[in-house]
Structure 1
Amino acid sequence: MSESTGNDRCRVVVLISGSGTNLQAIIDSAADAECPYQVCAVISNKPEAYGLTRASDGGIETAVVNHRDYLDREGFDTALIEAIDRYAPDLVVLAGFMRILTPGFVRHYSGRLLNIHPSLLPKYQGLHTHRRALEAGDREHGATVHFVTEELDGGPPIVQAIVPVEDGDTADTLAQRVQMQEHLIYPLAVQWFAEGRLRMSTDRAELDGHPLPPSGHRIDSRRT
């Protein structure tokens, strides 16, 4: 995608299932007149998701595609694609979207589908990442923004935020500090994409035409 300026801002659709704190960070970033992207719609698979209220408060169109209305994942994903494509997005962002996507959905948006995961991938794919990091005795934890591929939480990392594990941490306290960093790195990755600086090349993310390391660009919260 070419660099977006003026009214030619990168069109972003955000998918959510819950409260939408990462969504809010992306909305807040887009409110800057110099931001190269706009959130053109927020879609949820749960009609009660508070993130829909966040979007409406920001003047952003919303839609619900309730997964309970479909017999299988394929039917749901087909309806979801139709809902997303009405907004002609350049980028689709998963922000706490708690559905496993079919390979057909992922291929449809290949190279323009982002997710954030609360661990330093490839560590702790799946759920309960903070508890697992504590049980393993890790001294650092964090979050990863990555391109989405057909492998669950296995797409090329773009940017990671490193968070120290402190003595006395619980899964909740660690989650809170990780989430603070998520709110910084997710809008950053979206901005890179919107500026035409970020792309997916086979099994690696590229920034400014250069392959990123396997862990992506790393930001140590202890130094920021």
Structure 2
Amino acid sequence: MNALRSLLFALFFYPGTTVAVLLAFPAAFVGERPLRWVVHGWARWHRWCAALLLGVRTRLEGVLPNAPVIVAAKHESMFETIEMLLLFEHPAVVMKRELADLPGWGWVARRYGVIPVDREGGAVALRRMLKASQAVLAKGRPIVIFPEGTRVPPGERRPLQPGFAGLYRALGVPVVPLALDSGRLWPRDRFAKRPGIVTMKVGETIPTGLPRGEMESRVHEAINALQP
């Protein structure tokens, strides 16, 4: 049954995604607001398909601010990368440069305001990321980052990427941790998904100016609060 549900999800969601991408190109030329409508419509389509075809829904515990902060989230599946677009009014998601460089789609993503990160680019890449992040915060938008750097199976913890501490220090804004457990239902290496509730738990806001070790320890514990 789960395999059949997942097949139906693929048959509905991915053609809808193709339509959204085609609509995003002219919307991106018109301006930021039309592009936001298309992106949010696509994210709502994903939520609808996940809920009705897979039986996967979200429960948010706590309140996420629509403010210029860094939201540091656990990353276990594709599910939350799209769901994040609906948890905020206009978030800027930090993503791998390889995705932001994809022909066509990458241009649209950059127009929407994603923040590309080059993990192998060293200091130059960090400066570019900081510049893009500062521009986003100046517009009052939150930055969503997955500080462990990749999707992590349930029950595992990965060290935080070094660029995250640099971002925290340079931007001087609070960090809001977000724990989640999507990997239980949406495994990263399996086609079949299981129905259930993905819990997202907002942690205590971490203020600016903390020593790196303390900040990283608090973020790491908070984003892993729902791990078995």
Bin for the TM-score computed over the shorter chain: 0.3 to 0.5
Question: TM-score, normalised on structure 2?
Answer: 0.37
Question: TM-score, normalised on structure 1?
Answer: 0.38
Indicate the structure with greater strand content. Answer: 1
Indicate the structure with greater helix content. Answer: 2
